Chains A and B, each alone.
Chain A
């Protein structure tokens, strides 16, 4: 009997311990939810740290430590960055992953580059450029640029890179309008286009279009040649799934950078990533858990950047599947969606509602008349379409936390107008295969971030009949004609007019319903200097440094 009592006592103590531990955990999460729940304004009031809003909606909480530098300043040798996704390949012209692209910007250079802090195209390996005619561009190359293998960068490298890229999977779509690369002299090249392509300059800023060394590809095996760039850092060591080390290139044409080594560390679990930042094991944490952002915001040793991403979260309605081939049904769905609620639930308020197919970062973005949240109107439209009692359908999403949460909210909102939605969450490869053009998913939760390669890529990929990600299977001659016309029209005003009309047309069509512009959250040490806004999901990290105390 005594033993039983003892056992009961031990069990009670253990249960109490577990209960208390559980409660303390949920309290802390709850606090997090509240703190970040009402957008960043709450951060402003709950934290003593200053909140600075820099342009383009970026909110910076905390302040980088002021530093004074002179010739005796010593810089921290190594900076470690933990992105959410692993670095998976050095194959520059075939890699589509975001982390790899951020690395390519460190190891290589483009002809021209996008200055994300000032939203303009600036010179890279080309000192200057000029559009000679609708289909001819000329680039004057920078002299004295060395590759990591010691060879000089010249016009023949540009020709080699572009000609090679036209047959490589990820670079192909960016180089496919270039008919010929004409070498005028060692430091002048001309790009002859097959047809007018107003976006060519944007495409040349992309990570898959960085300049490769023709000498390296002639003398080394392909996997080694892919490592040779002109960028400020060169590959040092890659332990797949663990870390990638990049070492400073001392002969960099702009002068050697302040930080000797940049390490890209793979920490798959978001909470562990954040703790590693708090313990000082890493200097930059990309995408800490959304519910834990307040830990970064409240920590005086850390700075939080909340950056609107180029990703538009949206749902697609498949025109090949009944009843979504009926425009009235699609309009009903569009009227049933309450973006504010969705953002509060899915993103804890840390996202911006979005109402257009074009991203606000595009120079051709216009305000469009988007179907407003109106359940009564939605029900009436359903009845008019012949579905007064709604219908059953399925929404597909990948297994990502956000995607699944969006699917659940859409399910609840469509239930309000009588549409009974079943959710299918699939892991990425299965989802990608099923959602591909020609697929049969009725509704799918998707994301699209291709707005940095120009307006043509932004709209052609999801809406042109031949678009790479025409996942709603729209085959509309008028849309195709408008997309093609906008690409080849050299008159800016006319182009803007076509894009404005196209945006409204697509929103009225309701095959692609925008929901929100997501946010990239980056936590970093307050000592860190030189952090720049990312281009899409590709971070610009080449100027980061920390002054040694």
Chain B
């Protein structure tokens, strides 16, 4: 088990190298640079060139990349080209809000998806099945932007139950979490349904029923636990993606998360911030996925047995 974890963690190194190169390269391909953003209308062409020279933007790509990498291997992600703030510090300051939203969004998604998925599977081909499917599809199809604004109008403006913007206290996460969660719920629900359908047909469930175990216990104890692996995979992956930020939701709710940080930095051509933030997000997502893989072992003893061999 430990060997496996160490192997997975070591794999992160080539992944980080590849990610840093790709991000740095793609940002470099786009026309324009950070000087075009920060100079406004107040700098002459000569001064802009001088600033580019000072910032090292005129150096060839390879030199700039190796300069960046030499900092990275020492654990230095550099400073933002626009705000002059430390990239790592800025990222860390945004992380709690992102974690909060990703966690709450996943909780919302699971609380919608699992009951609906189970209902759909247990009552396969009934109106409940179709209804769950439609609800799931609706959640997936409604644009996040529209749903977010609609919820703000109803629950903040009209009813005054929740704040419309920002990240202050637990109450502020409710609306953004529902917005993020309702989009995620559809896929998890579909997975729950198909995974449950597969399990429900197994012989051991028939045996359990034959022994007189109540239907509730059959579903909860015997079926759901065995159907959990694919659900865990989907939910975990979605959590991993949410760690990279939910840009639309963050924009509508003025949520200070990582998604907006990355998008703003891309628009500002802040190469240092973009590369740093994406490297850190990739690391986090990889760790989350690793944790989920480890969690399989606890859910399914067969996998645990394979690790310990």
Partner of A428, one of B37, B127, B252: B37
Interface residues of A in 415-469 (CB under 8 A from B): 427-434, 436-438, 448, 450, 461, 466, 468-469
Asked if A150 lies at the interface with its beta carbon under 8 angstroms from chain B, I say: no
| Number of residues from A at the complex interface, CB < 8 A | 56
User: With a CB–CB cut-off of 8 A, which chain A residues contact B254?
Assistant: 242, 265-269, 272, 276
B47 at the interface (CB under 8 A from A): yes
**Which of B31, B45, B51, B125 meets A468, CB within 8 Å?**
B45
A427 touches B267 (CB 8 A): yes
Residues on A with C-beta less than 8 A from B160 are 279
Q: B165 contacts which of A10, A91, A272, A428 (Cβ < 8 Å)?
A: A272
Q: B134 to A7, Cβ gap below 8 A?
A: yes
Q: Given A6-B127, A275-B156, A275-B157 in contact, is the A430-B41 Cβ separation under 8 Å? A: no
User: In the bound complex, how far is the Cα of B294 from the Cα of A343, in angstroms?
Assistant: 61
Determine if B30 and A429 form an interchain contact, defined as CB atoms under 8 angstroms apart: yes
Separation in Å of the A195 CB from the closest CB of chain B?
Answer: 17
Q: Which residues of B contact A448 (CB under 8 A)?
A: 41
Contact B33 A276 (CB under 8 A): no
- CB < 8 Å neighbour of A169 from B30, B43, B127, B150: B43
Evaluate contact between A276 and B32: CB separation under 8 angstroms: no
Whether a CB of chain A sits under 8 angstroms from the CB of B83 is yes
Once A241-B94, A272-B253 are accepted as A-B contacts, the answer to whether A97 and B40 lie under 8 Å apart by CB is: yes
Measured CA separation A419–B37 after assembly (Å): 32
Q: Which residues of B contact A7 (CB under 8 A)?
A: 127, 130, 134
B138 contacts A240, C-beta separation under 8 Å:
no
**Interface: B219 (CB within 8 A):** no
| Contact present for A96 and B93 (CB under 8 Å) | no
**Residues of A contacting B31 in the complex (Cβ-Cβ under 8 angstroms):** 429-430, 433-434
* With known contacts A240-B93, A281-B163, A427-B267, A433–B33 Cβ distance under 8 A: yes
Q: How large is the interface on B (under 10, 10 to 19, 20 to 34, 35 or more residues)?
A: 35 or more
Report the tally of A-B residue pairs with Cβ distances under 8 A: 154
Q: B157: which of A95, A279, A431, A433 is its contact (CB, 8 Å)?
A: A279
A163-179 vs B, Cβ < 8 Å mask (1 yes, 0 no):
00000011011000000
Q: Which of A86, A95, A275, A431 contacts B164 (CB 8 A)?
A: A275
CB-CB under 8 A for A241 and B43, given A279-B160, A433-B33: no
User: In the bound complex, how far is the Cα of B164 from the Cα of A263, in angstroms?
Assistant: 17
Closest to A96 in B: B40
**Cβ of A31 under 8 Å from chain B:** no
A519 at the interface (CB under 8 A from B): no
CB <8 Å contact, B38 and A14: no
Contact with B256, one of A14, A94, A173, A239 (Cβ below 8 angstroms)? A239
Assembled-state Cα–Cα distance A469/B45 (Å): 9
CB-based contact B166/A173 at 8 Å? no
Residues of B102-129 whose CB lies within 8 A of A: 125-127, 129
Q: Contacts A276-B165, A432-B32 known; A89 to B84 CB distance under 8 Å?
A: yes
Does A271 reach chain B (CB closer than 8 Å)?
yes
Contact of B264 with A by CB under 8 A: yes
Contact B43 A14 (CB under 8 A): no
- For A271, give the chain B residue with the smallest CB separation: B149
Establish whether residues A428 and B267, one from each chain, have CB atoms under 8 Å apart when the complex forms.
Answer: yes
Binary per-residue interface labels of chain A (208-224) against chain B in the complex, 1 for a CB within 8 Å, 0 otherwise: 10000000000000010
Residues 58-110 (chain B) with a chain A CB within 8 angstroms = 82-85, 90, 93-94
What is the CB-to-nearest-CB distance from A85 to chain B, in angstroms, rounded to a whole number? 11
Q: A466 touching B44 by the CB < 8 A rule?
A: yes
Decide if A408 is an interface residue (CB 8 Å cutoff). Answer: no
With A and B bound together, what is the CA distance between A376 and B130 in angstroms? 63
Inter-subunit contact B260/A241 (CB<8 Å): yes
Name the contact of A91 in the complex, choosing from B84, B153, B163, B261 (C-beta under 8 A). Answer: B84
Q: Does B195 contact A (CB under 8 A)?
A: no
Is A11's beta carbon under 8 Å from chain B?
yes
A interface footprint on B130-157 (CB within 8 Å = 1, 0 otherwise): 1100100010000000000110110011
How far does the alpha carbon of A278 sit from the alpha carbon of B131 in the complex, in Å? 37
Query: Given the complex of chains A and B, what is the CA–CA distance between A363 and B52 in angstroms?
Result: 37
Binary flags per residue of A318-356, CB closer than 8 Å to B gives 1, else 0: 000000000000000000000000000000000000000
A196 to B37, CA, bound (A): 32
Question: Is B82 a contact of A88 with CB atoms below 8 Å?
Answer: yes
Report which of B40, B44, B47, B269 forms a contact with A429, defined as CB distance below 8 A: B269
**Does A491 have its Cβ within 8 Å of any Cβ on chain B?**
no
Interface flag for B251 (CB, 8 Å): yes
Q: How far is the CA of A3 from the CA of B48 in the complex (A)?
A: 68
CB within 8 Å for A242 and B256 given contacts A11-B134, A275-B157, A433-B31? yes
A34 to chain B, nearest CB (A): 20
Q: How far, in Å, is B133 (CB) from chain A's closest CB?
A: 8
In contact, A275 and B30 (Cβ under 8 angstroms): no
**Which residues of chain A come closer than 8 Å to B84, judged between CB atoms?**
89, 91, 223
A279-B153 Cα distance, complex, nearest whole Å: 10
Scan residues 37-85 of chain A and give those whose CB is less than 8 A from a CB of chain B. none
Instruction: For B150, list chain A residues within 8 Å (CB).
Output: 21
Interface string of A233-274 (1 = CB under 8 A from B): 000000111110000000000000000000001111101100
A187 to B43, CA, bound (A): 32
- Give B5-44 as 1s and 0s: 1 = Cβ < 8 Å from A's Cβ atoms: 0000000000000000000000000111110111111111
Contact present for A275 and B41 (CB under 8 Å): no
In the bound complex, residues from chain B placing their C-beta under 8 Å from that of A430 are 30-32
A-B contact pairs, 27 of them (CB 8 A): A3-B125, A3-B126, A10-B131, A10-B134, A88-B82, A94-B38, A96-B38, A169-B38, A169-B42, A169-B43, A173-B43, A242-B256, A272-B252, A272-B253, A272-B254, A275-B156, A275-B157, A276-B254, A279-B156, A428-B36, A428-B267, A429-B30, A432-B32, A433-B32, A436-B36, A466-B44, A468-B42
Counting from the closest, the 9 A-B pairs by CB-CB distance are: A96-B40, A429-B32, A433-B32, A242-B256, A6-B127, A432-B36, A7-B130, A267-B254, A430-B32
Interface residues of A (CB under 8 A from B): 2-3, 6-7, 10-11, 14, 21, 86, 88-89, 91, 94-97, 169-170, 172-173, 208, 223, 239-243, 265-269, 271-272, 275-276, 278-279, 281, 427-434, 436-438, 448, 450, 461, 466, 468-469
